[in-house]
Structure 1
Amino acid sequence: MPPQQGQPHQAMPHQAMPPQQQAASAGMPPASPQMMHVPVVETHKEGGEKALPRIAIHAFCERPDSAGALQATTQDWRMARANLKIYMGGIAAAIEYYKNESTPSLIIFESSLRAPDLFEQLDKLASVCDSGTKVVMMGATNDIRLYRELMDKGLSDYIVPPFQPLSLIRSISELFADPDKPFVGRVVAFFGAKGGVGSSTLAHNIAWGLANGMGQETALVDLDSSWGTTGLDFHFDNVQGLEEALADHERLDETLLDRIMVRHSEKLSILPAAASLGTPAPSSAESYEALVSGVRSLSPLTILDMPHVWTEWSCDMIKRADEIVITATPDLANLRNAKNLVDYLKAARPNDAAPLLIVNKTGVPKTAEIPVKDFAAAIGIQPAVVLPYEPIVYTEASNEGKMLSEISAAAQTFDGIMYLAHRLRTGSFPSPVSRKKGKLKKLAKKQKGGKDDNPEQGKAKSSLFSKMKKRK
């Protein structure tokens, strides 16, 4: 809103995280070579993240490094809909510019001025601001008194250096949050590097473990309308949950979601898929986004069971999740696909933590599978959990509609699942549990000289590239 019309509030000034360095993007205002920014990545945040709405943002900077930090925000998925334009010249340039132009949704200006010169400039800016425009000042010092005076003048926020892209985005996001729906739950997307690697089974069991083992209110959403297995794994007749929710996303609200979601236990709600081939699911990204937004407004933690498809909507769902879990088995096709996924996500999510990797079905008899340490080295991330090949246990659970926790022979495997569930709930892993057969492993343990579980692997060459060469 214009500076003269805002209402004061008592929040403290936003202060960004410690400064980092990153290559400047093409097209940004001139910046000195040494002033660059790299993202500071957070592995866990209370509450979820949402993309900014379709808004126009104009920024008027005094310093090239401030312009560089703002330019870096445009690479973040949260800013995909926002239209940011950056100008140099500070508040004086803004005043001159809006004498002949209408103001956007948000004006950000940088100023090193102090009162009374600053307040004089603010009055001039207010005189050219349209009603409804929000104004944010990037200042030079963390001055509480100045902050309160600026809030009294009607500014929406006052932020101080050091400026870091993610903190800037969050400061902007808070200004456009829906006051009627302030709560946003976290979303974890499970995606298989290849079909049949066990991603859905693990997603279902982790959702169960979070809800019934840790008491975490959890929602499980099966997004595979054709082949979804929630009905089989949780032993209930499939209903048109997903299909009904996607049919008309404009009428989707909390009442409809509450009606079509299945309350499986006190802490676990499920949105199942009918697994029917009769009616193709909608393909619009807007339908899926509306669905997930609706569910996360009700649940503190939502698990997305993603189908193994790469479309506009599935790409958006994965890219915008708070956490991503990739499941892969240690073979060449999974290696290629997992590496492609990790590389894509690192580029598309520069301010987010790397995906979590599950290496599943290790130790298959009579196969020259890729050693876990070579698999991890080629992908570039360490596995969060390594799980063994146990077909009897998984088949029994699937055929009887049970979770692994209900199968006595799967106790050690379920420990691995709960190990990851703890990470998803708290943001950190628990102390690893020592097991006789080593069902739970951190890759760091293996790198200290631990032997592989599969004796067949000892006969194979240790070099991943030797294996690839051998298969030609």
Structure 2
Amino acid sequence: MSFLTPEPRRTEEAAAEIASGARLVPRITIQAFCEHSQTAQLVESAIHDRRMSKVALTTHNGGIDGAVETYKSNPTPNLIIVETALSPQDIPAALEQLAQVCDAATRVVVLGHVNDVQLYRELIRSGISEYIVLPATAQQVVGAITDLFASENAAPIGRTIGFVSAKGGAGGSTIGHNVAWSIATALRQDSLILDMDLAFGTVGLNFNQDPPHGLADAIQANQKVDQTMLDRLISKAANHVNLLTAPVTLDRTYDFEEREFESVLELCQNTVPVVVLDIPHAWNAWIRYTLAALDEVVIVAEPDLANLRNAKNLADTIRALRPTEAAPNLVLNKVGMPRRPEIGAEEFSSSVECPLLGQVPFDAALFGTAANNGQMIAEIAANNKINEVFAAIGLHVTGRQAGHAASRAASLIKLPSFLRKRA
């Protein structure tokens, strides 16, 4: 047995794990770059394993060089698998080139033809997730992926992004839904939208969906909610777009304890790469706690005085709740409304002391049509420049660079997880 591959589990243990569903790989995107057709067939055969049932996998030709060329102009997936026939001396330098065009959260598994312990140690030290010596089996490939994304010690894959309105009607829900759509389509990342406005939420309406179950069922299940139950409650709105809708009924009140949503949110983070929270315009213990726990917070405001006051209060409070985290972000909505005096974007942003991610112009006809049709802006007006604003916001809140090609390296927010120590 090669010392570079993990010892296989006993058959009965693996079967028990698969049967329980505990080791299912979450909804990630994998792209493999292979130099030989046999390797491509090996990787493609891995998708037939039950643990990979939620995974979106594509294979390409070209090895590391092919991956570098592809990601000069395209976003990287959750996991890249690359085959290389290079010598041990040349592999680290080739992977450094790949690092320059990869996003921060991307993980890399290398399929190599050299059984060299020194190379293995160097690659693992530099941040490569796994090095598998060829020839290998599909079970070895699945095992490596499972250890990365589905083991008990695996880090959550989901990035949590909350959209909250500074004032009722400012459009936090609309902006959040369209940004989630942009992330799903442009980055080809599975996104899950949680409608946390259980009484008056609009996620179902905006995506023309009326599922029988949603977020309220998960909350009512409390500690009983697990991966299998969550999968049943999630509804699919489009490719890579998933929803946990609100019941939108008034037959009960929705009063929650401070940490009521915590277990559900953690489960979502272990399941989907991008989790977008549509947070209602209210202020209570659970909203305060949720805002403090998110990776990114986006305040959506209109450019008037009441929105400025509320946005300032929100921003100051969120900064105090998250002293070691990044400041909340700002999006100005309904900019340029006829006959309305407005506060300039620069003045608004500097007063709130939040980075301005974008300005969405007022367009009652466009947004009204989309809302009435249950569609996103990109579906009814694909060439509208507003979509570029949503895309830019999506790139920022997912921790990705704002540009590609020549500007990609210059706009890199941080090095990818592999080769980070080489910087």
1:393 aligns with 2:366: yes
* Structure-2 residue corresponding to 1:422: 395
* Structure-2 residue corresponding to 1:35: none
User: Which residue of 169, 177, 182 maps to 2:154?
Assistant: 182
Sequence identity of aligned pairs in percent? 32
1:125-151 deviation per Cα after TM superposition (whole angstroms, max 9, x unaligned) = xxxxxxxxxxxxxxxxxxxxxxxxxxx
Q: How do residues 48-67 of structure 1 correspond to structure 2 at under 5 angstroms? A: none
In 2, the alpha carbon distance for the partners of 1:427 and 1:282 equals 36
* Structure-1 residue corresponding to 2:357: 384
In 2, the alpha carbon distance for the partners of 1:316 and 1:286 equals 7
* Aligned residue identity for 2:200: W
Please say if residues 104 and 399 of structure 2, whose CA atoms lie closer than 8 Å, have aligned partners that are also in contact. no
* Structure-2 residue corresponding to 1:234: 207
Structure 1 stretches of at least 4 aligned residues deviating more than 3 Å after TM superposition: 44-47
Q: Per-residue deviation at 1:394? A: 0.4
User: Which residue of 207, 229, 240 maps to 2:180?
Assistant: 207
* Aligned residue identity for 1:355: P
* Aligned residue identity for 1:281: Y
1:223 aligns with 2:185: no
* Aligned residue identity for 1:193: A
1:303-342 deviation per Cα after TM superposition (whole angstroms, max 9, x unaligned) = 0010111111111111110011110001111000111111
Q: How do residues 242-391 of structure 1 correspond to structure 2 at under 5 angstroms? A: 242-391=215-364
In 2, the alpha carbon distance for the partners of 1:426 and 1:333 equals 30
Please say if residues 393 and 410 of structure 1, whose CA atoms lie closer than 8 Å, have aligned partners that are also in contact. no
Please say if residues 209 and 237 of structure 2, whose CA atoms lie closer than 8 Å, have aligned partners that are also in contact. no
In 1, the alpha carbon distance for the partners of 2:247 and 2:221 equals 17
Q: Per-residue deviation at 1:179? A: 6.1
* Aligned residue identity for 1:363: G
TM-score (norm 1): 0.52
TM-score (norm 2): 0.58
Q: Which moved more, 1:273-282 or 1:333-342?
A: 273-282
Q: Per-residue deviation at 1:343? A: 1.1
* Aligned residue identity for 2:250: L
User: Which residue of 147, 163, 167 maps to 1:194?
Assistant: 167
1:77-103 deviation per Cα after TM superposition (whole angstroms, max 9, x unaligned) = xxxxxxxxxxxxxxxxxxxxxxxxxxx
Please say if residues 196 and 278 of structure 2, whose CA atoms lie closer than 8 Å, have aligned partners that are also in contact. yes
1:96-127 deviation per Cα after TM superposition (whole angstroms, max 9, x unaligned) = xxxxxxxxxxxxxxxxxxxxxxxxxxxxxxxx
* Aligned residue identity for 2:262: E
Please say if residues 330 and 357 of structure 2, whose CA atoms lie closer than 8 Å, have aligned partners that are also in contact. yes
Q: Per-residue deviation at 1:409? A: 7.6
Please say if residues 190 and 305 of structure 1, whose CA atoms lie closer than 8 Å, have aligned partners that are also in contact. yes
In 2, the alpha carbon distance for the partners of 1:414 and 1:263 equals 22
In 1, the alpha carbon distance for the partners of 2:357 and 2:279 equals 19
1:260-283 deviation per Cα after TM superposition (whole angstroms, max 9, x unaligned) = 110223312111111111122341
* Structure-2 residue corresponding to 1:438: none
Over 3 Å counting, the alpha-carbon distance change for 1:189 and 1:226 in structure 2 is: same
In 2, the alpha carbon distance for the partners of 1:345 and 1:209 equals 26
In 2, the alpha carbon distance for the partners of 1:239 and 1:181 equals 34
In 1, the alpha carbon distance for the partners of 2:166 and 2:355 equals 15
Gaps of 5+ in 2: 1-102, 107-149, 405-423
1:336-383 deviation per Cα after TM superposition (whole angstroms, max 9, x unaligned) = 011111111222211111111101111111111112122122112231
1:412-438 deviation per Cα after TM superposition (whole angstroms, max 9, x unaligned) = 11111011111123343338xxxxxxx
Over 3 Å counting, the alpha-carbon distance change for 1:238 and 1:259 in structure 2 is: closer
Any idea what SS the aligned residue of 1:228 has? coil
Please say if residues 335 and 361 of structure 2, whose CA atoms lie closer than 8 Å, have aligned partners that are also in contact. yes
Any idea what SS the aligned residue of 1:270 has? strand
* Structure-2 residue corresponding to 1:38: none
In 2, the alpha carbon distance for the partners of 1:238 and 1:336 equals 37
Over 3 Å counting, the alpha-carbon distance change for 1:410 and 1:196 in structure 2 is: farther
In 2, the alpha carbon distance for the partners of 1:300 and 1:403 equals 21
Gaps of 5+ in 1: 1-43, 48-177, 432-472
**Which has the larger Rg?**
1
In 2, the alpha carbon distance for the partners of 1:243 and 1:426 equals 29
Q: Of the two structures, which has the highest relative contact order with CA contacts closer than 8 Å and spacing of 6 or more?
A: 2
In 1, the alpha carbon distance for the partners of 2:202 and 2:177 equals 9
In 2, the alpha carbon distance for the partners of 1:241 and 1:268 equals 15
Q: Per-residue deviation at 1:285? A: 2.6
Q: Per-residue deviation at 1:410? A: 6.7
Alignment RMSD, CA only?
2.0
Over 3 Å counting, the alpha-carbon distance change for 1:260 and 1:299 in structure 2 is: same
Over 3 Å counting, the alpha-carbon distance change for 1:45 and 1:280 in structure 2 is: farther
